[in-house]
Amino acid sequence: MSSNFNARDAQAYDSMMGRWSARLAPKFIAHAGVSDGEHVLDLGCGTGNVSFAMPAGIGSVVGVDYSPIYVAAAQHRNMRRNISIEQGDGNALRFDDASFDRAVSMLVIQHVPEPLRMLGEMRRVTKPGGVVACAVWDSFGGMGAHRMLWDTAAVTDADAVRRRAKSMSRPAAQPGGLPRLFAEAGLFDIDTTELLVRWDFADFADYWEPMLQGEGSVGDYITSLSDDARIELCERLRVAYVAGGVDGPRSFAAVAWSVRGVV
């Protein structure tokens, strides 16, 4: 399962996005309807935030991710005998048909070039009557912290304009895009909801410094800049962050769409 997500370092991912996906995971699991005793596939498990948030009474969880870097980090963190983590291709899963009660994937499908193929594999390995569930950030209207970066950078940089457009135009992250993909994949009883978490930063450094590590599309953009351009963007972003106040804590709403469907 190729991905256009820039995965370079697991610790950098956790400081950049993992701390927020950890907040989102319990809400996503609840919407997916995961129950005790079930066998669950967590596709695109990353560093393990969804897998490790599963109920204690879960039958088993198999976390699969394309990135060996994230897989190694998740395996190192794993303290539960009913959870296993492995590297694999989400477009060609090794599992037999109808192997799982549920197949879930959080914050992944928007980065996959062939999302319908990925959903087809999730549907294939899920038992009839089982559930497939995915969640994506509302990148256009529900990620204020990232929009502040892209909109600030795009004022003076044509490359930021291009990258912002690419980030905002992913089919799975468009309004109604994920439910349409579920319908095309042959799932039924499709249910969509919005999940809200807060991205809380201690100060501007807590907001800015994780982006310097090069993870994800935002990190990839910032590390592509010259030193002078990076310094200029930092100062303009600092002005936007403090917004006329003093540096310190800020909290941004972040909204994800969660969609589930029945096989």
Q: How does pLDDT run across 129-176, given as a tens digit for each residue? A: 999 999 999 999 999 999 999 999 999 999 999 999 998 888 888 889
Identify the band that residue 3 occupies on the pLDDT scale cut at 50, 70 and 90: low
* Secondary structure percentages of the chain, helix, strand, coil, to 5: 45, 25, 30
DSSP letter, residue 143: B
What are the sequence ranges of the domains in the chain?
Answer: 10-262
- The residues that bridge with 113 in the sheet, in sequence order, are none
Distance, C-alpha 225 to centroid of its chain: 24
* Over residues 189-218, mean pLDDT: 95
pLDDT for 171 = 85
Asked if 33 and 26 touch (Cβ cutoff 8 Å), the reply is no
pLDDT for 240 = 97
pLDDT for 21 = 95
Identify the band that residue 12 occupies on the pLDDT scale cut at 50, 70 and 90: confident
97 vs 28: CA distance, rounded Å? 24
Q: How does pLDDT run across 78-108, given as a tens digit for each residue? A: 999 999 999 999 999 999 999 999 999 999 9
pLDDT for 124 = 98
* Over residues 199-215, mean pLDDT: 95
Q: How does pLDDT run across 218-261, given as a tens digit for each residue? A: 999 999 999 999 999 999 999 999 999 999 999 999 999 999 99
Return the ∠ at Cα 30 (arms to 263 and 184), rounded to 5°: 30
pLDDT for 2 = 52
pLDDT for 78 = 96
Q: Which of 257, 259, 237 is nearest to 247 (CA)?
A: 237
On average, the pLDDT of the chain sits at 94
Higher pLDDT residue, 51 or 13?
Answer: 51
pLDDT for 253 = 97
Return the ∠ at Cα 190 (arms to 102 and 109), rounded to 5°: 65
Class assignment of domain 10-262?
alpha beta
pLDDT of residue 13 exceeding 90, the answer is: no
